[in-house]
Amino acid sequence: MNGKEEAAGCERIVEMDVNLGQVSIRNPKGSPTELPKSFRFDAVYESSCRQSELYDETVRPLVDSVLQGFNGTVFAYGQTGTGKTYTMQGVWAEPEKRGIIPNSFEHIFTHISRSQDQQYLVRASYLEIYQEEIRDLLNKDENKKLELKEKPETGVYIKDLSSFVTKNVKEIEHVMNVGNQTRSVASTNMNEYSSRSHAIFVVTVECSELGLDGENHIRVGKLNLVDLAGSERQSKTGVQGERLKEATKINLSLSALGNVISALVDGKSTHIPYRDSKLTRLLEDSLGGNAKTIMVATIGPASCNYEESLITLRYANRTKNIKNKPRINEDPKDALLREFQEEIARLKAQLERRGMLSKKRRKSQRKIILEGEEIIDEGEETEDNIEKDMENYLKEQKETLEKEKVAIQDDHNLVAEEKQKLLEEKEKMMEDLKKEQEATEQLAAKFKVGQ
């Protein structure tokens, strides 16, 4: 129990049996003979358990599945002040207190560093649903509202959502820290820093591997890390005005989530109300669809929170009866890694072409004067043709490089460091091209003098 609960004279009414995976809750207003209500789950964790226990036992297998190409979702549900954000994020600076999100980052990049004969690309996006509006937490324009769209082959997606390529734990943590600074939080009676929005951090892991057929096969796993807003009654938060409006929207979306869960578990419903809120629309794959999903339900042990704790336990009890149908996402059409591989292949072809032209130029130098007679190797191109080929090639390369430089400068999805690195590479290529042009002109001038 926290200080406020102890000061209010609340008593502990929740008991947990870790071995049985059972939670029992006693009605503080019930008769002494009334038996506690009990609920069984896949795993239960007391307040004394370590963050690593929860991650290793419950979340690690799911992240392993994401690395294999499955979709995975972890979402925390419960009233404000019971530890949702602590469970999801924890204390980043202290390894023992780091939550599910930083532990999953470490897990993903450790796996990638140890892998062999595989190429990986990791992207991160961060959004919040605030008063039923979707905000990109990584966009400088905080007031921009994003739209939900749907594709037949990939399902629901958010139009214009920022996506940042990250190469290590430090970079992906930086992306999250930037987003956290713009999250909607406020003080309520329940918590000084209460989340007033649902936050979803999306990690997309693309993997390319050479198959037995000699072709590259791509699989894409998506990890949704969801920190829901508090599920308590509005009267308990003590909020008014704008905060009351926020609480109303929060409760509406959580009610929609509850309706979706009930419809899925019922088995008789022909209609699942995913479209009733943006939260349920976004989590459509995670609830009864193509994803492996974990729900972490957090409750308070104090008697003053009996109703909220009982509602949360019932909510979680229904959720565990949902049956999803996860499958590996193989060779998706919109994989960014495929675009990168095609770009690399194009650049390799350019280099080979450059090498062929250089070879032609070297062969042309075999034109010599032998004992006063001019000898030209049969089958070789004349210098005029080679010079013309080189001019066309150099002109084409210069135009391509200029376009690529402009594209890099306009690409707001690239982090500044990566953008600068790419621009420097293009500048170097421009310099090399200039040197090659000068060498070609000198060679052409030399042969003109010889003639």
Q: Which residues are annotated as a binding site for ATP?
A: 78-85
C-alpha–C-alpha distance, residues 296 and 207, integer Å:
28
The answer for residues whose C-beta is within 8 angstroms of residue 269's C-beta and 6 or more apart is 263
CA dihedral in degrees (165, 167, 171, 175; nearest 10)? 20
Instruction: Report which residue type is found at 68.
Output: Q
Q: Are 126 and 138 in contact (CB under 8 A)?
A: yes
Cα–Cα distances (Å) from 346 to 107, 227, 296, 340, 352, in that order, read 33, 42, 46, 10, 10
Token couple for 346? 């194009």
C-alpha–C-alpha distance, residues 271 and 73, integer Å:
23
C-alpha–C-alpha distance, residues 321 and 62, integer Å:
18
Q: Is 197 helix (H, G, I), strand (E, B) or coil?
A: coil
Q: Is 377 helix (H, G, I), strand (E, B) or coil?
A: coil
Listing DSSP states for 104-136 in one string gives: HHHHHHHHHHH--SEEEEEEEEEEEEETTEEEE
Token couple for 156? 């629901």
E strand or H helix at 356, and its extent? helix 336-364
The answer for residues whose C-beta is within 8 angstroms of residue 303's C-beta and 6 or more apart is 10, 11, 12, 13, 28
Crossing angle (nearest 10°) for helices 336-364 and 416-450: 20
Q: Is 248 helix (H, G, I), strand (E, B) or coil?
A: helix
The binding site consists of 78-85
Q: Are 190 and 149 in contact (CB under 8 A)?
A: no
Instruction: Report which residue type is found at 172.
Output: I
Token couple for 155? 């399902």
- How many Cα atoms occupy the beta-carbon half-sphere of 363 within 13 Å? 16
Q: Are 317 and 39 in contact (CB under 8 A)?
A: yes
Query: Which ranges in 302-415 belong to alpha helices (H)?
Result: 306-319, 336-364, 383-410
